[in-house]
Structure 1
Amino acid sequence: MRRFKNILFVCDEQSPYELALDRVRWLARSNEASVTLVDTIDSGGASNLSKLFTTIPGLGNEEIGEAVVSVHRGKLENRAKALRAQGIDVKTNVLIGTPFIEIIRQVSRGRHDLVIKGAHRAAGRPFFPGADMHLLRKCPCPVWVLNAGSEPRSQRIMAAIDPAPQDQTRDTLNRTILKLATSLARNDGAKLDVVNVWRLQEEATLRHGLANIPAADINRLVDQEHQDSKERLRELIADFSEFDDIMRVLHIKGIAADALTEHVSAEGIDTIVMGTLARTGVAGLFIGNTAETILNHVTCSVLTVKADGFVSPVDSGEEGRSN
């Protein structure tokens, strides 16, 4: 999987970073990539970390703030030692501010091409709470959020694609998804399901009695859409025939979000590779709600890829502090 060369690994205490560290170690060695380990201190918007500790007597606020940073930095350095011992180039950084904002700013400053982190999980909370979802929506580079229950290597991967050869942005995104998914599957020794969900828009409306359209005419439209969609899928997959031994291609009729989440559950998928598009005119938003619906209904690891030209709504300013 020789795509990522400059990995940012978020190893905060709120996520299962130990498991994610195994994935980072393997990926860095196989890609000969450099790694930056970061931890985050949520300042709650305060410009000075010492303001968080004004109620603690006995020490100056600055001393307490520096002690906290020092502890975080020391933990990062301890984690970095294991990677460095295996010849991996590792840097460390403590980020202070709103965590997802500072992570995205670090991506911009460091020109990272992948963010890996463990999922924030807690009883009674969704799999992707606010902090993780912000990263998935707004980070300009691919984000890989690892489920605490996953193994360091994937076993069942699903690539969600929507072939559209006439749309260069979407076509490039689909090919990127397939390159990542096939490479990951080959390296992990995993099985890969490439899933394309199709349907005739407004078929149910057309079949309503008030539409007064003969069923035979509607059936012809459905058949035509089926064949057109199948041909688009065939053209896209043809460039990845070398992975036929590990890849199963599925062309499913239905609503994309429903069909994809059902497939994840039924087939025991542990890793999803999927793309996000931003064409709503608001930077950082998924087009429609398919991607967000999927993310809100799965409990597996997810690797999301942005379309070319994506612009993060988070600026790359230096307001946040790093240490």
Structure 2
Amino acid sequence: MIRPLRLLFLAPFSQAAHCPGLEYAGDLARALGVPLHIAAFTDLHGAESAGPAGAECPDVVRQSVLALRQKWLKDESARLQEKGVDVHPEIVRASSSATEFAACAQRLEADLIIKDMQARPGQAHCGLSPQDWEFLSVSPVSVLYVQPGPTQIPGKVLAAIDMEFQAKEGDSDNHSIIEAARRLASACGAALHVISIYDTDAPGQGDLSRFDVRKQAFDDFARQHGIAREHRHFIPGAPANAICAYLQRSAYNLLVIGAANHHLLPSGIGLTAEGILEHAGCSVLAIKVPVAAAPIKTTAPDSIRHASS
């Protein structure tokens, strides 16, 4: 019997109240009809649980922290279960590190990880912390980062693809990205749009005939995936800046991008992806690419599982 898709929410350590990412994860699990695993990391021997310097009973402090963590997890799980979500909560006694997060995802055989974006001190926008960047680089599967604020499942999804590499023999990254976005949008009843940027900063891109060729290839690709003409957006500019500017003047709930573009950085994430994740202004699903040619292990027809390289 093939198991259903598994969603994994990584709960922040210091969460004393409800968080947007967990609400989002619950709504998404219910829309897909799949289980939601919640991993609440608690390092009882780390600085977070040690209490103030000079505390007489550090063990008491640690046990108090654990009890509060367990209560939060129990209460949040019960609330989601009342909404019809199949919840599988777990206290993970380990440090909140990228390697521990990745190990947990592998152990639970997660297909998609959901995590909150964190507000930055002194800044108006949210983004990824250094730990988030590290985790995205080592994560075995795709990661969905949820923007703070009112939570809702996507109503309008934008998939970003790179036509410069579509002609590459055997390239499947764009297909993986658009299929993930399409299946997710279908499950949530959302409109799906597709965007590709004609990189005007790249050598030789000033040729109008080259622009027309790329645009035609983009239209052909989008049509193959059933994207309506009015939902296709081919825009000239610098990729990260152009996509972020387009998002700022549009009303998308979710952006779907590849997490390892071909212009690779040492982090293994990609220059364009890094620029977008810093300034997207909406929730972002980072698909780990390239995708291995492996069967999708899910009983749900509208799944978003993607094997990692």
Q: Which amino acid aligns with 2:122?
A: G
The residue that corresponds to 2:228 in the other structure is: 244
Gaps of 5+ in 1: 207-217, 311-323
The answer to whether the Cα contact below 8 Å between 1:273 and 1:304 also exists between their aligned partners in 2 is yes
Output one character per residue of 1:258-295: Cα deviation in whole Å (capped at 9) or x when no partner.
111110111133321111216678774223x2111111
| 1:1-323 superposed matches below 5 A | 5-12=5-12, 13=14, 17-41=18-42, 55-57=54-56, 59=57, 61-85=58-82, 86=84, 88-125=86-123, 127-128=126-127, 129-163=129-163, 164-167=165-168, 171-199=171-199, 202=202, 222-241=207-226, 243-244=227-228, 248-277=231-260, 284-287=267-270, 289-308=271-290
Output one character per residue of 1:12-36: Cα deviation in whole Å (capped at 9) or x when no partner.
2459854333322232223332222
Relative to 1, partners in 2 of residues 1:267 and 1:87: Cα closer, same or farther, differing over 3 Å? Answer: closer
Q: Which amino acid aligns with 1:238?
A: R
The answer to whether the Cα contact below 8 Å between 2:198 and 2:236 also exists between their aligned partners in 1 is yes
Relative to 1, partners in 2 of residues 1:279 and 1:161: Cα closer, same or farther, differing over 3 Å? Answer: closer
Give the CA RMSD over aligned residues.
3.2
Relative to 1, partners in 2 of residues 1:291 and 1:186: Cα closer, same or farther, differing over 3 Å? Answer: same
Relative to 1, partners in 2 of residues 1:37 and 1:297: Cα closer, same or farther, differing over 3 Å? Answer: same
Point out the structure with the larger helix share. 1
Provide the rounded CA distance (Å) in 1 between the counterparts of 2:169 and 2:280.
Answer: 29
Relative to 1, partners in 2 of residues 1:286 and 1:79: Cα closer, same or farther, differing over 3 Å? Answer: same
Q: Which amino acid aligns with 1:30?
A: A
Relative to 1, partners in 2 of residues 1:15 and 1:114: Cα closer, same or farther, differing over 3 Å? Answer: farther
The residue that corresponds to 1:313 in the other structure is: none
Relative to 1, partners in 2 of residues 1:259 and 1:50: Cα closer, same or farther, differing over 3 Å? Answer: closer
Provide the rounded CA distance (Å) in 2 between the counterparts of 1:42 and 1:180.
Answer: 34
Question: What displacement does 1:252 show?
Answer: 1.1
Q: How many residues align?
A: 285
Gaps of 5+ in 2: 293-309
Question: What displacement does 1:95 show?
Answer: 4.1
Q: What secondary structure does 2:103 align onto?
A: helix
Question: What displacement does 1:248 show?
Answer: 0.6
Output one character per residue of 1:193-250: Cα deviation in whole Å (capped at 9) or x when no partner.
31111136645xx7xxxxxxxxxxx96xx13321331233133212222x529x6101
Provide the rounded CA distance (Å) in 2 between the counterparts of 1:282 and 1:197.
Answer: 20
Relative to 1, partners in 2 of residues 1:30 and 1:186: Cα closer, same or farther, differing over 3 Å? Answer: same
Provide the rounded CA distance (Å) in 1 between the counterparts of 2:202 and 2:74.
Answer: 56
User: Taking every aligned residue pair, what percent have the same amino acid on both sides?
Assistant: 20
Q: Which amino acid aligns with 1:272?
A: L
The answer to whether the Cα contact below 8 Å between 1:53 and 1:65 also exists between their aligned partners in 2 is no
Relative to 1, partners in 2 of residues 1:66 and 1:278: Cα closer, same or farther, differing over 3 Å? Answer: farther
Q: Which amino acid aligns with 1:38?
A: A
The answer to whether the Cα contact below 8 Å between 1:115 and 1:143 also exists between their aligned partners in 2 is yes
Output one character per residue of 1:150-188: Cα deviation in whole Å (capped at 9) or x when no partner.
43122332211013344366x422112212222333343
- Kindly name which structure, 1 or 2, has the bigger radius of gyration based on alpha carbons: 1
Q: Which amino acid aligns with 1:31?
A: L
Which of 271-280 and 30-39 deviates more?
271-280
Relative to 1, partners in 2 of residues 1:120 and 1:35: Cα closer, same or farther, differing over 3 Å? Answer: same
Q: Which amino acid aligns with 1:29?
A: R
Relative to 1, partners in 2 of residues 1:230 and 1:47: Cα closer, same or farther, differing over 3 Å? Answer: same
Provide the rounded CA distance (Å) in 1 between the counterparts of 2:135 and 2:68.
Answer: 25
Question: What displacement does 1:143 show?
Answer: 0.9
Question: What displacement does 1:256 show?
Answer: 0.7
Relative to 1, partners in 2 of residues 1:279 and 1:233: Cα closer, same or farther, differing over 3 Å? Answer: closer
Question: What displacement does 1:63 show?
Answer: 3.5
The answer to whether the Cα contact below 8 Å between 2:112 and 2:143 also exists between their aligned partners in 1 is yes
Provide the rounded CA distance (Å) in 2 between the counterparts of 1:202 and 1:27.
Answer: 38
Relative to 1, partners in 2 of residues 1:280 and 1:244: Cα closer, same or farther, differing over 3 Å? Answer: closer
Q: Which amino acid aligns with 1:127?
A: C
Output one character per residue of 1:78-118: Cα deviation in whole Å (capped at 9) or x when no partner.
21123334261423223421343322221121111111122
Provide the rounded CA distance (Å) in 1 between the counterparts of 2:286 and 2:10.
Answer: 16
Relative to 1, partners in 2 of residues 1:87 and 1:20: Cα closer, same or farther, differing over 3 Å? Answer: closer
